[in-house]
Structure 1
Amino acid sequence: MSSLYLRNATPADARRCYEIEIGAYEGDEAATLEKIATRIAQYPEGFLIAETEGQIIGFINCGCAQVVQMSDEAFKELVGHSSDAPNVVIMSVVVDPLHQGKGYALQLMNEFIGRMRAMHKQTIHLMCKDRHVGLYEHMGYRYVQPSASDHGGMAWHEMIMVL
């Protein structure tokens, strides 16, 4: 496994992140290029890039809220986001399919969690599919409930980590 370099996103990263997003997510669940660019522009501190051998291979992005409403679709465009809010809402955790299964997602998540703790955030929330519930539990998240969201026409589960 190559070493991983982790850094905050810049506007120049949007296109590559979009390519990874559409390659890894099914159907309508992938964010648009515009949404990714907005997330980078509005909250680069919450957009963590993973690189290996000079190539972006994955990322995590988020927004922050005073009160978390996981089924709020407008929040995916950072409507209601406040960088000072204590609660983090992850929108994407994605590794290029060519680099999956190498432990990069765990390294990326561990760094993300550390950065959120350093920023004095209180909780991290995310939604995932059935097949990823165990993975996130292994990372320290607690299962909350099936989500009311039908984003991308999929069934989702809400998870939380208290920092």
Structure 2
Amino acid sequence: MHIRTAAMADLAAITAVESACFPAAEAATEADFKARLSVYPDHFWLLEDESGTIVSFVDGLVTDEPTLRDEMYSDASFHDESGAWQMIFGVNTLPAHRRQGLAEQVLRRVIADAKAQGRKGCVLTCKDKLIHYYGKLGFVNEGVSESVHGGVVWYDMRLTF
């Protein structure tokens, strides 16, 4: 397995992984990913298997805003490369590759890179069933998010360095 950052050539594969991992109401579209990749491809961490197939990835912009807001998902202009917080939009692992520690491997790389880049920390939202999972990585539950993304309840999670 190998982790690398993204390029526009990865657009179709990233979109396919996302749609396999999230319901349509929550999944980013190809247009969303195209906009993101055009602004911050280095904030996509792709985990490839031995054949070069993307099996897991994490993406998100960087901002000085301390809270992940729904508008950030569809507006790449929120990205500020010198921002304090690495936002995490999606943690994706293809269903056939789950329960192998791949998402954790990618997340640990995201965290290490954010630290090396001098960020204050990482921020994400998750459903209640994943609070414990992210807690194991040091994220702290800050309560129910204001997010209405996908029409479900999200929790704000923060890892401060």
Q: Which residue does the alignment assign to 2:152?
A: 154
Structure 2: unaligned runs, 5 residues or longer: none
Among residues 10, 13, 22, which one is paired with 2:10 in the alignment?
A: 13
Aligned partners of 2:35, 2:70: CA distance in 1, in Å?
15
Question: Which consecutive segments of 4 or more residues in structure 1 shift more than 6 A?
Answer: none
The residue matched to 2:33 in structure 1 has which SS? helix
Q: Which residue does the alignment assign to 2:53?
A: 55
1:40 maps onto 2:37 in alignment: yes
The residue matched to 2:25 in structure 1 has which SS? helix
Aligned partners of 2:7, 2:24: CA distance in 1, in Å?
26
The residue matched to 1:20 in structure 2 has which SS? helix
Among residues 10, 19, 23, which one is paired with 2:20 in the alignment?
A: 23
State whether residues 57 and 95 of structure 1, in contact with CA within 8 Å, keep that contact through their aligned partners in structure 2. Answer: yes
Task: Give the deviation of 1:80 after TM superposition.
Answer: 2.1
The residue matched to 2:132 in structure 1 has which SS? helix
Q: Which residue does the alignment assign to 1:82?
A: 80
Q: TM (normalized to structure 2)?
A: 0.94
Structure 1: unaligned runs, 5 residues or longer: none
Percent of aligned positions with the same letter in both sequences? 26
Tell which deviates more after alignment, 57-66 or 76-85.
76-85
Q: TM (normalized to structure 1)?
A: 0.93
Task: Give the deviation of 1:159 after TM superposition.
Answer: 0.2
Task: Give the deviation of 1:117 after TM superposition.
Answer: 0.9
- RMSD after superposition: 1.1
State whether residues 39 and 47 of structure 1, in contact with CA within 8 Å, keep that contact through their aligned partners in structure 2. Answer: no
